[in-house]
Structure 1
Amino acid sequence: MTKKLYINNPYLKETHARVIDKSFENDNFHIKLDRTIFYPHMSGGQPKDLGTICEKEVIDVYEDGLNIVHVLEEDIDSKDVNLSIDWNNRFDLMQQHTGQHILSAAFLKLFNAKTIAFHMGEKYITIDVDIVDINDEEILQIETLSNKIIQSNFNVTSSFLDSSNITDLDLSKVPEEEQDNIRIVNIDNISTTPCSGTHVSSTGEIGLIKIINTTNYKGNTRVSFICGNRSLKDYSLKNRYINKISLSLSSGITDVLDKFLKLKEDKENLQKKNKNLKEEIISLKGNRLLEKKKNINGIDYIIENLEGIDKKELNLISSYLNKEENLIQIYKLEDKNQGMFLISKSHNLDINLKELFDSIAQKIIVKGGGNKEKIQGTTSPTIIDRVIEMFYKEIQAYLKTKPNK
């Protein structure tokens, strides 16, 4: 059985231990010790500790019955080993876990909302509380109470009881099964919770709790929050960015939101005006091309060699003109490096341009594609005129065999 030193002394950063068992599995060494300061991964929902054994990295820690198994990529020859944990990581988890107990207690006290799930992530912590809706004012109340508990610097203690001795305790969470040696973490009677995690010894060590987001989740509310040094880093980051934004807007910090909303409104108005202007330009250019149409056997053709126009704009023009009936558009775009083409038809014409493209592609080298209404592609600039001529003749030949709708 591995003695869990972190239970009674989570502040122990280094110690020695003796190897009691070792195996080689999945290309790694799995080592059991007679005692450890390493917390096993996701035991009670808390992530594992980071650190080294004999200066070799521990890549995983897990429970195996009453033993704790340490996973290393490198073997350790000695039976007597030195253990060292990453203290910054351990203390961060202690701050987050104790902070979670406090936040859950605040929800229970103010809104009788119980915590039904929690998750400790690398960036933030989440708890799911059985409350459907919560507003900004209520979040502020929760934060205020939580941080008052922190500032009061209450003691955080733990003890072991069995199931028969916890019936008189006002537990925030009751064990589902009868157990012996249930560890109870108590925050000066503000929170009394069965928990196997590592915790700070007094609430003042947490520093700060900050709720960063709330969302509806399966009929409950999921609360994302951070504690301690994570809160400081988050504040520093946001303060740096808000100051930069404030400077760029020539605005005081309290006026940044109003300025941003005004800029957003102005941008949306400009986008609407720009869209209307683009539509006018497209219609003007389209109508000019329409003036150049030629009627052959009841079908109108626009066959143009265009300069200074990009493919996106040409697509918009061809789509605009497709509202006309009995119209075929055949465009060649000037380019020194490649020959580009776009061919489009009115919706009422019974011809599948994609099938036509596939047929011509078997006779001459072209790249591209499209659908039955519009095709576009490229070919060598030396044969682009020939390709345009082929499409024109194939379309004429096909339409002669089909009555117009």
Structure 2
Amino acid sequence: MNDRLYYQDAYLTTFEAAILRCGTEEDGTAYVVLDHTAFYPTGGGQPCDTGTLGDCRVIDVEEVAGEIRHRLDRPLTGGSGKVTGRIDWQRRFDAMQQHAGQHILSASFIKIADAQTVAFHLGREHVTIDVQLDSLSAELAEQVERQANQIVLENRQIEARFVTEEELASLPLTKPPAVTENVRVVIIPDFDYNPCGGTHPRSTGEVGPIKIIGWERHRGNIRVQFVCGWRALADHARKQMLLQKVTGLLATSEQELADVLERVLAEKESLKESLQQREAELLAAEAERALQSAERLAGGEWLMQASFAGRSMQELQQLARQIVSREEQAIVLLATTGEKLQLVFARGTAVQAEMNQLLKETLPLIDGKGGGSAAMAQGGGAPTLPAEDLLAHARQLLVSRANA
């Protein structure tokens, strides 16, 4: 492991190495293999380092068949000799904070809830662990979080080193190692002894605050989302700004925000019910006016047709129902224009004409599609014809059949 400088010094950001070989992946991405490297490859739930090799960006680092491939944004010029590597320190230290924070939080779940961590993922915005619990209460989450931050505040030493078989057998490991040789253990004395190949800070104080931000059921366990260090501070700042904005909009304080929101939501629900009642009353009045201006057909039916702009299909359906519920001999032909031309045809219970068939014979004029029943049908298509022409076509079909 002497060729992996991140194991010797996780704080190393600049190094010089000899180029062993250059290559190209199947997708055309250039890569280079060095005789030693400070770039951490993706693995163990931790993302790889990024940075530069010479004048090239290192966009990905992965161990393939025992060698570490540094994937580049373009081929390395020269391709031989030595090259200087530089690590993106902000990304590296973020990974160190999050990974060490995961060790501390997972150990805290064991101490407080006797719950093992079975999965870990370090994402761009937050970190997750899957914990063997049936459920997680807010009270238990707070206890675990408090325990984790107590370890941070104690600023305990973090030691990461390779151990012999004899040492390994004597350590109270959190979990068995995933490898059988070159076993590396991350040690927080009297708290956590965790086999791990990731990068970590020298002390728990460098991890910074650990904050649980949520959890959910996932495949029989509890998936816990959390952030550490600079991420935790950024998350707090973002939420604080959002809180200030909301309290400003509602003209209230943080302490009274929940009560004010409950009151606003209750008022909204009351207004919604009142609005629905008013809309129903308006539709009823509109239906009455429509019947008064309806055309009497030869067969005794009352035909009501109208076109609108910007009304929804749902509104047309509600209006049609209002009309046919008042007059059993009513036939209703409605259209609304917008991005599409939409139609609603309906009939009263004493009418024999089939609305789905009428719609089927009308929609081809606008290359439309639709469906429904003999009592009510709806559909739409491209607004290539005026709505009034489409309704006139449907009316002519009804009149011609009545006179047949």
TM superposition score category, shorter chain reference:
0.7 to 0.9
Q: TM-score, normalised by structure 2?
A: 0.88
Stretches of structure 2 lacking an aligned partner (at least 5 in a row): none
Deviation at 1:58, TM superposition (A): 0.8
* Distance across 2 between alignment mates of 1:140 and 1:341: 55
**Residue 242 of structure 2 is aligned to residue 241 of structure 1:** yes
SS at match of 2:256: helix
Aligned equivalent of 1:119, options 110, 115, 121: 121
Quick one: which amino acid aligns to residue 393 of structure 2? M
Quick one: which amino acid aligns to residue 251 of structure 1? T
Q: Residues 236-289 of structure 1: CA distance to partner in whole angstroms, max 9, x if unpaired? A: 111111112112222111111211121111111111111111111111211222
Relative distance call for 1:278 and 1:71 in structure 2 (3 A) is same
1:344 corresponds to: 345
Deviation at 1:23, TM superposition (A): 1.7
Quick one: which amino acid aligns to residue 87 of structure 1? W
Deviation at 1:188, TM superposition (A): 1.6
Relative distance call for 1:64 and 1:87 in structure 2 (3 A) is same
1:206 corresponds to: 207
RMSD, matched Cα: 2.8
2:25 corresponds to: 25
SS at match of 1:3: coil
1:144 corresponds to: 146
**Residue 103 of structure 2 is aligned to residue 101 of structure 1:** yes
Contact preservation (8 Å) 2:18, 2:36: yes
* Distance across 1 between alignment mates of 2:94 and 2:254: 30
* Distance across 1 between alignment mates of 2:105 and 2:242: 28
Relative distance call for 1:344 and 1:146 in structure 2 (3 A) is same
2:398 corresponds to: 395
1:50 corresponds to: 50
Stretches of structure 1 lacking an aligned partner (at least 5 in a row): none
Relative distance call for 1:197 and 1:293 in structure 2 (3 A) is same
* Distance across 2 between alignment mates of 1:305 and 1:25: 65
* Distance across 1 between alignment mates of 2:126 and 2:89: 19
Q: Residues 303-338 of structure 1: CA distance to partner in whole angstroms, max 9, x if unpaired? A: 3456788455444312332445342113477x9x99
Query: What percentage of aligned pairs have identical amino acids?
Result: 31
Quick one: which amino acid aligns to residue 325 of structure 1? E
* Distance across 2 between alignment mates of 1:242 and 1:231: 16
Q: Which structure 2 residues correspond to residues 78-227 of structure 1 after superposition, within 5 A?
A: 78-163=80-165, 165-175=167-177, 179-227=180-228
* Distance across 1 between alignment mates of 2:289 and 2:149: 70
Aligned equivalent of 1:325, options 306, 324, 328: 328
Quick one: which amino acid aligns to residue 260 of structure 2? K
* Distance across 2 between alignment mates of 1:107 and 1:343: 60
Relative distance call for 1:347 and 1:83 in structure 2 (3 A) is farther
SS at match of 2:129: strand
Relative distance call for 1:141 and 1:374 in structure 2 (3 A) is same
Moved more, 71-80 or 122-131: 71-80
Q: Which structure 2 residues correspond to residues 249-398 of structure 1 after superposition, within 5 A?
A: 249-296=250-297, 298-305=299-306, 310=311, 313-323=315-325, 325-331=328-334, 342-346=343-347, 348=349, 351-360=353-362, 365-366=365-366, 368-372=368-372, 373-375=376-378, 378=383, 380-381=385-386, 387-398=390-401
**Residue 65 of structure 2 is aligned to residue 62 of structure 1:** no
* Distance across 2 between alignment mates of 1:108 and 1:182: 22
SS at match of 2:170: coil
Deviation at 1:350, TM superposition (A): 5.4
